[in-house]
Structure 1
Amino acid sequence: MAMRSPCPALSALALLAGCAAPGGNYPSLLPRAIEQGSFAEPEREIAQAEVDSALEVRIEEHRRALSAATARFDAAATAAERLARAARGAPAGSEAWLDAQIALAELDTLRNDGATLLGDIEQLAIDRALEGKPAYPPLARLQREAEQRARAESERIAELSAMMVPA
């Protein structure tokens, strides 16, 4: 029977002892203070918008302007649709086709008027936010209404343009 030498076991023990720092100042494996905090958004009270009579007046002015712009666009769209139907199948450059193109150009101008009005409404909301005031529900409703109207007008123009032969 061969005797084993205690050398490998002692060598391993000496190697492990050399890895330990003198004095026992080992870093803690417990969570640090920064790791115990929460990164969740703190609960805040939602501020309610107070009635702003000056803003209410401006909202009403913009609402009337939007209604008037909508009425102008709808009347012009009806006329443009009649002309586009008459130009359906007509060759590009014909009199019927040109009349329909002119009507579509007028619709595009009216749509731009509505887009400008939407920009003005959005600017009211931006100015209010820059002042640190909470969102104003009547203004938000008017903005959504103007956005929906702008989308509907763009769709109507695309629909009428699709009726005619491209240039």
Structure 2
Amino acid sequence: MLRALIPPASFALLAACASDPTVYPSLAPRPVEKLGFAEPATPPPAPAAQDPALDAKLIAVTARGDAAARDFDRATARAATLTRAARGAKVGSDAWIAAQTAIADLDALRSSYGDTVGALDDLASTRAAALQPAYPALEQALAAARAAAEAQTARIHALAGALPGA
């Protein structure tokens, strides 16, 4: 009886392997392949909610920065006057030393303004670390502080370059 069952079972297995050899899968692009590799569009970030505590910190930091900028501007006028006076002087003369000292004072004042930039950077990085959205007032204050710091650096370099022996 076992022999009678073997041939029909083997025919069933062989029939499963037999297929039409002329039918191949399509080489046309599939729908998913038509999508491309571009990044999906992301929605714009939600606007940041008002943060009174951050606004108060911004006011305090920018007030310190404004005071430091005013001090720098006053010292810049003095250093420019001394630099003009030292243009024809020899390196190491009293006029040259006075101008160099005034430029060194500018460097110290620029450093105190740099504390403002650092404080604003800290506020921005704290927000970023907490995965909070960008705060427009903070971003504007930080951009303005960085631009002012670069302008101060450029002014110092211009004054130092105008001295003899530079």
TM-score, normalised on structure 2? 0.80
Matched residue type, 1:59: L
How far apart are residue 160 of structure 1 and its match? 1.1
6, 14, 32: which one pairs with 2:30?
A: 32
Matched residue type, 2:65: L
Distance of 2:154 and 2:142 partners within structure 1? 19
Match in the other structure for 1:18: none
- Output aligned runs, 1:49-88, within 5 Å: 49-88=48-87
* SS of aligned partner of 1:42: coil
Q: Which runs of at least 4 in structure 1 moved beyond 2 Å after TM superposition?
A: 24-28, 36-43
Match in the other structure for 2:158: 159
Change beyond 3 A, Cα 1:133–1:97:
same
1:48 maps to 2:47: yes
Match in the other structure for 1:90: 89
Deviation digits for residues 99-132 of structure 1, max 9, x if unmatched?
1101111101111222232122122112112211
Match in the other structure for 1:5: none
* SS of aligned partner of 1:31: coil
Match in the other structure for 1:149: 148
What is the percentage of aligned positions where both structures have the same residue? 37
RMSD: 1.7
Matched residue type, 1:35: E
How far apart are residue 158 of structure 1 and its match? 1.6
Q: Which runs of 5+ in 2 are unaligned?
A: 1-19
Distance of 2:111 and 2:44 partners within structure 1? 40
Distance of 2:57 and 2:30 partners within structure 1? 55
1:128 maps to 2:127: yes
- Structure 2 contact 71–109 (Cα < 8 Å) conserved: yes
Q: Which runs of 5+ in 1 are unaligned?
A: 1-21
